[in-house]
Amino acid sequence: MGGGPPTGHESGCGAPPPYPWGVSIPTLEQLHAIGAAQQPTYPDQAAVTKAVERLRTVPPLVFAGECDELKDKIAAVSRGEAFLLAGGDCAETFDGVTADNVRNKLRVLLQMAVVLTYAASVPVVKLGRLAGQYAKPRSSDLETRDGVTLPAYRGDAVNGFDFTPESRIPDPQRLVDVYNSSAATLNLVRAFVTGGYADLRQVHTWNNDFVRESPYAQRYELMAGEIERALTFMKAIGADPDEFHRVDFHSSHEALLLEYEHAMTRIDSRTQLPYNVSGHMVWIGERTRQLDGAHVEYFRHIRNPIGCKLGPTATPDEALALAARLNPENEPGRLTFITRFGAGKVRDGLPPLVEKVTAEGVQVAWVSDPMHGNTFEASTGYKTRRFDDVLDEIQGFFDVHRALGTVPGGMMVEMTGDDVTEIVGGGEEIDEHGLAHRYESVVDPRLNRVQSLELAFLVAEMLRARTT
Ligand code: PEP
Ligand code: CO
């Protein structure tokens, strides 16, 4: 993203009918026949067909060429030449698509990236969990409150968060709303990225209206001062490269709902190959990575860079089999394994996977998701995580890779640009009672602005140790 307007000869232009060149991608019906986990049960099939038909005709949100660029960058990540920073909400919401919200999220990601780049002298590949992150897998189909049982909330892509029978009915019109909300989000992100807001000379501006008492905001301020002086020096000697003025930023989400993802798949007119044009990178979640399931079958046909979550139950053979199915040509940058073991399990659970995958010569980027293995319910009833556990899982991830001589390629975090109180600990020392102060997430707890910045400084130290 940030490479200027679409050139018109990329994927998706003049779309229907889908797949006119007979490129083999399974039909939606074939995928459903294989069996897909975590899909909603829609009461009105005609309405589903209508939404899917609509989505098949809409313009792409991203271009195949941009997906290829990201793939090349992830290949660099897997070689240890760059670090991947992925971040955003656990679940985006339609109400959350406001200018402030999107800007705040982008701003913290940019701040985190600059901290990682400056403190560790490593390029950072920036990936938003945004513009499509609206569908959630759930461990239970139902939710019970005060003796009332209703279908679980599955993300704004499926049903409403309100705990009423009407709101919890899956509504396929929401799939079209996902597209529109994603388009609005990406439009804003592209404007920020190309319109000067992401210019490195704004490094101070990103810190504006930050809680000044936060030692990390102060530390950032000092670093921004150093960067600014370096930029001024460069300018004085006549160097003002393009890279200072633009930033590369890409979008990603869990491709969970077959209807949406299939309808947003297009044949790229340059290569005649299928791409999911709803996000640059898409990933398979921990609950839908069955080797013989519909998600793996769908993912193996698209050409985007893709991710696959691996939790504590994943065996080395499973990881190998997934890699063989999802990346049979062993193309670097194509496949990222996003590991999410939990702080207590990563040091024992991760090495066998990395060892076997590496020994077989399989090309993958290893990325840590330090969030999903560390969730628990606080005494006050809130779903939360401890900042120290998040940090410890990342440290474990770095330790494992250092011991094996492999590359800890990046991290994917759930974070927001706002001052929410959803994760306990960190420099602000939010405790379990403090969670009630401003808990806004509709699914999983997110790092707030200060915690995100703090994490970036601490991970920068690990990254520096990686490269020395
Ligand atoms: C997520 O990333 O929000 C998620 C649900 O993760 P996982 O599939 O790893 O549980
Ligand atoms: Co989550």
Q: What does the domain layout of the chain look like in residue ranges?
A: 28-198+246-467
DSSP string, 393-425: HHHHHHHHHHHHT--EEEEEEEB-SS----SBB
Taking the chain (468 residues) in runs of 10, the rounded mean pLDDT of each run is 41 42 80 97 97 98 98 98 97 97 95 91 96 97 96 98 98 98 97 86 81 80 90 91 85 98 96 97 98 98 98 98 98 98 98 98 98 96 97 98 98 96 93 95 95 95 85
Index of the ligand 1 atom closest to the CA of residue 338: 9
Give the ligand whose atoms come closest to the C-alpha of residue 287.
Answer: 1
Q: Are 416 and 451 in contact (CB under 8 A)?
A: no
Any residues with Cβ below 6 Å from ligand 1, and which? 90, 137, 254, 285-287, 309, 340, 369, 372, 444
Index of the ligand 1 atom closest to the CA of residue 443: 3
CA–centroid distance, residue 112 to ligand 1 (Å): 22
CA–centroid distance, residue 86 to ligand 2 (Å): 13
Spatial distance between the Cα atoms of 54 and 177, rounded to a whole number of angstroms: 11
**Fold assignment, 28-198+246-467:** TIM Barrel (3.20.20)
Q: Whose CA is nearest to atom 1 of ligand 1?
A: 90
CA–centroid distance, residue 446 to ligand 2 (Å): 8
How high is the pLDDT of residue 63?
97
Spatial distance between the Cα atoms of 214 and 194, rounded to a whole number of angstroms: 30
CA–centroid distance, residue 312 to ligand 1 (Å): 13
How high is the pLDDT of residue 7?
34
Ligand 1 pocket test, candidate residues 254, 336, 337, most atoms within 8 A of CB? 254
Question: Could you give the 3-state DSSP secondary structure of residue 104?
Answer: helix
Index of the ligand 1 atom closest to the CA of residue 254: 2
Spatial distance between the Cα atoms of 356 and 351, rounded to a whole number of angstroms: 8
Task: Tell me the helices (H) and strands (E) count for the chain, helix number first.
Answer: 12, 14
Q: Are 114 and 227 in contact (CB under 8 A)?
A: yes
Q: Whose CA is nearest to atom 4 of ligand 1?
A: 285
Give the ligand whose atoms come closest to the C-alpha of residue 339.
Answer: 1
CA dihedral (349, 351, 354, 355) positive or negative? negative
How high is the pLDDT of residue 202?
86
Index of the ligand 1 atom closest to the CA of residue 133: 3
Give the ligand whose atoms come closest to the C-alpha of residue 446.
Answer: 2
Give the ligand whose atoms come closest to the C-alpha of residue 445.
Answer: 2
Index of the ligand 1 atom closest to the CA of residue 286: 8
How far is the CA of 149 from the CAs of 138, 142, 156, 162, 165, in angstroms?
A: 15, 7, 19, 13, 9
pTM value?
0.94
